[in-house]
Amino acid sequence: MERRQFLKGAAVGGVAAAASTLAAPAIAQGNITWRMVTTWPRNFPGLGVGAQRLADRITAASGGRLTVQVFSAGELVPALQSLDAVIDGTAEMAHGAAYYWLNKSRGLAFFTGVPYGMTSRELTAWVRYMGGQELWDEIYDGFGVQGFLSGDTGTQAGGWFRTELTGLSDIQGLRFRTPGLGGRVWEMLGASVVNMPAGEIFPALQSGTLDAAEFVGPFNDLALGFHQIAKNYYFPSFTEPGLATELVVDKAKYQALPADLQALVRDICQAEYDQVASDFAANDPRALQTLINQHGVTIRTFPDEILEAGADASKQLLEELLASDDPLTKRVAENYVESLRIVRERTDGNDTLFVQARKRFFEI
């Protein structure tokens, strides 16, 4: 789908949806209606579709007792004000990514993705079984909200660049859109980093405000049209190895729900985390073939000089977080690093070896 068609459809759908949902009553016949704001464009592949599907599943599974109305980026609040909308009561739910809110706590970055850190499966193990959720709850308790994992993109693409990267010298002064701790790593390598929501990236590339940008991967990036501006597409990202989205809810309102509705919200978030992962696994490779075969995109890998410098910067950044003046951020970092040491034993000693063997010996 070309970017113009996608954005035109998203705009028309967004206006119609906003008009219809605003007219709906908040409570009808004892039922509850909650508003979900998102950081994604309406009908956005993978992420926006996942947010809508999550809302629809809650509504259907509850028999309408809890109806969730979705307001995509810009329909009720700007994309990067979604968390604030839940905190101030403008909405009851927000669908986004925790590393967008580093102004609240740097510890939140760990619940989306860490440079050279956990893959998505490792992240899930940490959050569900190794104390991650409890630490996440502590951070969000300070803002009166509750966070749940809600989507998994897997390891992301490294980004779109106008010119080929031959070494560290090509990064100096590069105007690059990339968020979170990964953005800090690219800054340490010499880039000038900015974060902006999905809908603003293409115009910034087109105008020359940006020299390079990353968002997620082929499934999303094809729809956003980055290939129309830049043709050098780098894989994989070393700063976003296993990215998770989140659903944030107003904690007081969530706890006031009947126990079955609380469980329903929690369990559907878990199901959607896995559903989104399957969506990306199926559609990223197909979108990538379209980018290569129909749009002349060149697939590249980062030079070793950049990968090594990125690893050194990532270690330095983690050391800073481990020595943080904020006790909670420090505890999150400590728990994350210790858990990474454990979970990577399986990944490095089993999964990675299998993938390497399959690549070498098995062709069909």
List the one residue out of 174, 100, 114 whose CA is nearest residue 320: 114
Please check whether residue 229 lies inside any domain of the structure: no
**pLDDT tens-digit readout, 318-342:** 999 999 999 999 999 999 999 999 9
Please check whether residue 138 lies inside any domain of the structure: yes
CATH of the domain at 66: 3.40.190.170
Please check whether residue 75 lies inside any domain of the structure: yes
Collect the ranges in the chain with pLDDT lower than 50.
1-2, 4, 8-28
For residue 10, the model assigns a pLDDT of 47
For residue 103, the model assigns a pLDDT of 95
Contact 138, 328 (CB under 8 A): yes
Please check whether residue 343 lies inside any domain of the structure: no
Please check whether residue 90 lies inside any domain of the structure: yes
- Report the domain count for the chain: 1
Q: How far is CA 325 from CA 110, 185, 228, in A?
A: 17, 20, 44
Please check whether residue 262 lies inside any domain of the structure: yes
For residue 30, the model assigns a pLDDT of 74
State residue 285 phi and psi, 5-degree precision: -65, -35
Interatomic CA distance for residues 148 and 265, integer angstroms: 9
Pairing of strands 31-38, 66-71: parallel
Interatomic CA distance for residues 246 and 37, integer angstroms: 12
Letter string b/e over residues 214-246, b meaning 16 or more CB atoms within 10 A of that residue's CB: bbbbbbbbbbbbbbebbbbbbbebbbbbbbbbb
Residue 12 belongs to domain spanning: 3-98+131-149+245-277
Interatomic CA distance for residues 128 and 131, integer angstroms: 7
Instruction: Give the three-state DSSP class for 77.
Output: coil
The number of C-alpha atoms within 13 Å of 198 and in the hemisphere containing its C-beta is: 29
Instruction: Give the three-state DSSP class for 130.
Output: coil
